[in-house]
Structure 1
């Protein structure tokens, strides 16, 4: 998985120690004749299916990061409809040993154009899935998709 240059620099100072980072999740939805589909990718590091996720770069707005990550990772153009959830995630140990914890901003996004395909080495597959036929995913990602689909009036705060 590509590590942003500023994170790589921090890692030269702190090694694998816990690093707190701003993150984003883009739940991209599109309406088709038989209902709603969600865009998912299979992560190259874990093999898990997830919505598009990423790290917000210094000075970057989280909603801009979400759109950027969707394009980079899936070659799909998406538009943020709104923020649906902000939460502190669990501590994650990445396959390289780095420990991270993310302040996640989950956005409900609308598909604009493009057919999904892996755009970088972060995904091995990308695909649209019907909401009733999602592949197995970590619980936190199932909850993020469900929150975006429910489109609550108020932003969900916390886990």
Structure 2
């Protein structure tokens, strides 16, 4: 596979301690109807950590800091720009919020919400992102 066929992306599993315990930040995409972790493409010359923090800020309106890398996922997709089949490799980081409010600024998303781990796992659209949240929870709860 040519390197041009691989799209690099980065995202965050942002977790905080709320009144009822751990909470995970999820985004709701309007079209298609999806619940997601914040993530997006790494820009040329940008480090994955910088991209992940930028995506969390842009998509959810949350300032965050990275605690550690979590996992890397890979999936195939058809690029809307040129209708070509590509591989997307996304590295996710465990993050904690530095701000308590959410304010989605990306028009693709209409909600950024804090959910219990069980609710977040139930709502997430994609198995790969459920896996990432599971890795984060096991790490935070000392089960790995």
TM norm structure 1: 0.76
* CA deviation after TM superposition for structure 1 residue 32, in Å: 1.3
The equivalent of 1:117 in structure 2 is 103
* Regions of 4+ moved over 4 Å: 94-98
Coordinate RMSD, CA, aligned: 2.0
The equivalent of 1:63 in structure 2 is 49
The 5 A counterparts of 1:1-150 are: 19-87=5-73, 89-93=74-78, 97=83, 99-134=85-120, 135-150=123-138
- Count matched residues: 134
SS in 2 for 1:25: strand
SS in 2 for 1:151: helix
Distance of 1:94 and 1:39 partners within structure 2: 26
Distance of 2:89 and 2:57 partners within structure 1: 21
- What runs of 5+ residues in structure 1 fail to find an aligned partner? 1-17, 153-159
